[in-house]
């Protein structure tokens, strides 16, 4: 099944003082989610049992991968192997794409 999203950031309305997520696509191989973070909102450190990719679509975030901290301006992306501790902190209103493998 094909899917084209020409304006990805338009697919999420960032809430005031909150985080929102929506599933963009899901099949037997991948789950694709779009997150919207208001300034200062954070996904605290956690792990995932499957490999994943994140891309900062718009905005700016601090990305922590294991013990390494990275700036995450729009256009940044990261590969996260399974079980890698990671967190995201939005420095301004931010849209992030998450692509996870499905077990």
Number of structural domains (the chain) is 1
Q: Let me know if residue 53 belongs to a domain.
A: yes
pLDDT at 1: 56
The chain-wide mean pLDDT, for the chain, equals 94
Does residue 97 have a pLDDT over 80?
yes
Name the pTM for this structure.
Answer: 0.91
pLDDT at 88: 98
The whole-angstrom separation of Cα 50 and Cα 33 is 14
Q: Let me know if residue 11 belongs to a domain.
A: no
Contacts of 14 (CB under 8 A, 6+ apart): 20, 36, 37, 38, 93, 94, 95
The whole-angstrom separation of Cα 63 and Cα 45 is 10
pLDDT at 7: 81
Boundaries of domain holding 84: 17-101
Q: Let me know if residue 10 belongs to a domain.
A: no
Q: Let me know if residue 5 belongs to a domain.
A: no
Q: Let me know if residue 2 belongs to a domain.
A: no
Does residue 81 have a pLDDT over 80?
yes
The whole-angstrom separation of Cα 95 and Cα 61 is 9
Q: Let me know if residue 4 belongs to a domain.
A: no
- Which domain CATH number covers 55? 2.60.120.10
- Residues 17-41: pLDDT tens digits? 999 999 999 999 999 999 999 999 9
């Amino acid at each position: 099944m094909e899917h084209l999203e020409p304006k990805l950031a338009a697919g999420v309305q960032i809430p005031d003082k909150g985080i929102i997520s929506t599933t963009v696509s899901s099949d037997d191989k991948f789950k694709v989610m779009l997150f919207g973070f208001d300034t200062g909102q954070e996904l605290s450190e956690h792990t995932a049992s499957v490999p994943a990719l994140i891309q900062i679509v718009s905005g700016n975030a601090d990305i922590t991968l294991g013990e390494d901290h990275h700036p995450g301006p729009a256009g940044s992306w990261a590969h996260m192997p399974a079980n890698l501790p990671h967190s995201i902190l939005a420095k301004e209103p931010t849209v992030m794409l998450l692509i996870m493998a499905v077990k």
